[in-house]
């Protein structure tokens, strides 16, 4: 399968006092080059995932890294067989990853970074407690062997989970955390370090870098890694897994899921059918029509470039 779209996932914590001034030039650059995806700007830095042609993504990364405060972002590249986004958004936010706790600053205190090649040794240590900081629907698709699933719906729930499991954390000498690309763990390890825990570790580059660099035969990862774009999930080597999202509830679907009588594209699936009314489903049908139209226009516009 030919992969024509370069995907860039990036973040950088920085003291970005004038972040609002970057919104327009970033949006203009992306629109001029056919880049789609989402970039978040806040006083604490930049975060986002975007896709486009190789030249377009290179131009964007050059612009971002030319900013004095953003010269060394955490940056990961992959490829997609089709454009994984339908529009471009550059948003101003209070946080680039929302935990909702004041005073958590990864620039001041953070966990110890662990390279993918050293990760297996750490998480197999009997003195290590391993925590998946992602949302519950992401864990369902795949995780590291032995990882704890906090069963959170959003990252805002993570501090409460930590508070409730203080006893479990103190039973082990080391706390290891991981997430998709690394950004949640910047905040989660900073938060836990701030509570007084010293031996706190996180996977540098997140799951994506691990899957990119770790040979499958040596890997301790099971399943797939959920990603927040139209690829839905990737496996070792960052290969697409062929899943789709239910447009009503964003639950990841495979070929078997789509055989259910409750599945209707853009409207419902097994996971959400009984939680929606007939009026909801009719509204989703209308929304899906608009979505298909937008997707068609976006692809036509890109092909004309």
pTM of the model: 0.81
Rounded to an integer, what distance in angstroms lies between the CA atom of residue 228 and that of residue 238?
Answer: 14
Residues 122 and 174 in one domain: yes
Query: Which tops the pLDDT comparison, 117 or 296?
Result: 117
Q: What is the mean pLDDT of residues 170-180?
A: 96
Residues 128 and 205 in one domain: yes
CATH number, position 81: 3.30.70.100
The residue from 92, 125, 147 where one domain ends is 92
Q: Is residue 279 included in any domain, yes or no?
A: yes
Question: Average per-residue pLDDT in the chain?
Answer: 92
175 token code pair: 């706390």
| Confidence at residue 37, expressed as pLDDT on a 0 to 100 scale | 96
DSSP result, 19-31: GGGGHHHHHHHHH
The residue from 63, 92, 121 where one domain ends is 92
Confidence of residue 2 (pLDDT cuts 50, 70, 90): low
Q: Alpha helix (H) ranges present in the chain?
A: 23-32, 54-65, 116-123, 136-141, 158-164, 166-170, 183-194, 206-213, 278-303
What is the tally of structural domains in the chain?
Answer: 3
Residues 70 and 18 in one domain: yes
Q: Is residue 40 included in any domain, yes or no?
A: yes
The residue from 92, 125, 149 where one domain ends is 92
pLDDT tens for 228-262 read 887 888 899 988 888 887 878 878 888 888 889 99
| Confidence at residue 288, expressed as pLDDT on a 0 to 100 scale | 81
Known catalytic residues are 179
| Confidence at residue 302, expressed as pLDDT on a 0 to 100 scale | 42
Domain extent, residue 19, equals 5-92
CATH number, position 130: 3.40.250.10
């Amino acid at each position: 399968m030919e992969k024509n779209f370069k995907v860039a996932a990036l973040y950088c914590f920085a003291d970005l006092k004038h972040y609002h001034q970057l919104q327009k030039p970033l949006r203009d650059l992306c629109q001029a080059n056919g880049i789609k995806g989402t970039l978040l700007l806040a006083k604490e830095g930049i975060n986002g995932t975007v896709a486009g042609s190789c030249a377009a993504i290179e131009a964007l990364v050059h612009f971002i890294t030319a900013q004095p405060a953003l010269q060394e972002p955490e940056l990961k590249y992959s490829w997609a067989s089709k454009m994984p986004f339908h529009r471009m958004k550059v948003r101003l936010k209070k946080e680039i990853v929302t935990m909702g706790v004041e005073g958590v600053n990864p620039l001041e205190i953070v966990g110890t970074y662990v390279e993918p090649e050293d990760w297996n040794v750490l998480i197999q240590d009997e003195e290590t407690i391993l925590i998946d900081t992602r949302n519950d629907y992401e864990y369902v698709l795949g995780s590291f062997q032995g990882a704890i699933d906090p069963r959170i719906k959003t990252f805002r729930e993570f501090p409460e989970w930590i508070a409730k499991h203080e006893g479990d954390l103190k039973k082990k000498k080391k706390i290891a955390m991981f997430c998709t690309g690394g950004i949640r763990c910047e905040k989660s390890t900073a938060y836990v370090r701030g509570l007084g825990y010293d031996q706190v570790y996180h996977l540098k580059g997140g799951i994506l870098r691990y899957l990119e660099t770790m040979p499958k035969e040596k890997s301790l990862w099971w399943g797939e890694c959920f990603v927040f774009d139209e690829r839905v999930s990737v496996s070792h080597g960052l290969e697409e897994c062929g899943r789709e999202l239910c447009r009503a509830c964003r639950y990841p679907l495979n070929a078997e899921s789509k055989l259910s009588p409750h599945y209707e594209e853009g409207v419902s699936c097994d996971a959400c059918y009984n939680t929606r009314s007939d009026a909801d489903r009719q509204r989703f049908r209308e929304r899906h029509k608009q979505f298909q139209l937008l997707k068609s226009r976006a692809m036509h516009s890109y092909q004309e470039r």
